[in-house]
Amino acid sequence: MSEPERVWVKTTEDGRKVEVIDGWVCLAGVREAEHLVEILEHPNRQAILRAVPGATHVAGRLPLTHEQAAIAQGALLAAQRVFDSSPAGITQRISKAVWAKAHAEGVE
């Protein structure tokens, strides 16, 4: 099995990498979000903009500038176009669906 493709988006102030890995925005290799939200649509936009004035999008808890969001969105779209029919690829898609359903229902 090959190593997952990683696209670097930014490095946090404390040195952790924000990357897109297999269709997920990850912080230090841990899944954070599978899509971006525009800052204007986020319920906590005022607090986010006070903390990170240049933010235009968020991925989970991660504020992103326009340039960072463009990198992340491009990598997320590229990951969606790849269809992996291997058992690992099928397992990944099932895991994403279960994760999304669980979080939509408020299960942690």
* Structural domain total, the chain: 1
pLDDT in tens, the chain (108 residues): 567 789 999 999 999 999 999 899 999 999 999 999 999 999 999 999 999 999 999 999 999 999 999 999 999 998 877 666 778 777 877 887 887 778 776 655
Asked if 4 and 21 touch (Cβ cutoff 8 Å), the reply is yes
Asked if 18 and 62 touch (Cβ cutoff 8 Å), the reply is yes
Among 24, 44, 21, 26, which residue's Cα sits nearest to residue 35?
Answer: 24
Asked if 76 and 23 touch (Cβ cutoff 8 Å), the reply is yes
Q: Which domain holds residue 26?
A: 6-104
pLDDT, residue 3, reads 76
Cα separation, 48 vs 51, whole angstroms? 5
Q: Which residues contact 52 (CB under 8 A, 6 or more apart)?
A: 63
Residue 34 domain-assigned?
yes
pTM: predicted TM-score of the whole model, two decimal places: 0.73
pLDDT, residue 88, reads 77
Residue 1 domain-assigned?
no
